[in-house]
Amino acid sequence: MLKKEFKRKDVERMRNLIKGDTGKSAELQVGYTAKKENRKEGDIWEESGKKWTIKDGIKQTYTKLDKVKKEAILPLFCPCCGTLMKKRNDTKMYKIHKKCFDCVIEMETQLKIEGKYEEYEKKVILGNAKDMVDDYETYLLESINTSNTQYVSEKGEVERWKGGIDKEKLSKEIKEAASEFKEKIKQAQND
Cβ proximity to Zn ion, 100 vs 174, nearer residue: 100
Cβ proximity to Zn ion, 39 vs 99, nearer residue: 99
Among residues 86, 79, 81, 189, the alpha carbon closest in space to that of 130 is found at: 189
Binding of residue 80 to Zn ion (CB under 5 A): yes
Cβ proximity to Zn ion, 3 vs 88, nearer residue: 88
- The secondary structure element, H or E, covering residue 174 is helix 167-190
Question: 108 near 86, Cβ under 8 Å?
Answer: no
Binding of residue 100 to Zn ion (CB under 5 A): yes
The letter for the amino acid at 171 is: S
Stretch near Zn ion under the rule CB under 5 A, chosen from 13-21, 70-78, 134-142, 147-155: 70-78
CA distance 58 to 76: 31
Q: From the CB of 122, what's the least distance to Zn ion, in Å?
A: 24
Q: From the CB of 82, what's the least distance to Zn ion, in Å?
A: 7
Q: Which of 28, 30, 54, 78 binds Zn ion (CB under 5 A)?
A: 78
103 contacts: CB under 8 Å, gap ≥ 6: 78, 80, 81, 93, 97
Q: From the CB of 23, what's the least distance to Zn ion, in Å?
A: 42
CA distance 141 to 81: 40
Cβ proximity to Zn ion, 80 vs 152, nearer residue: 80
Question: 29 near 36, Cβ under 8 Å?
Answer: yes
Stretch near Zn ion under the rule CB under 5 A, chosen from 38-46, 79-87, 146-154, 162-170: 79-87
Residues that bind Zn ion (CB under 5 A): 78, 80-81, 99-100, 103
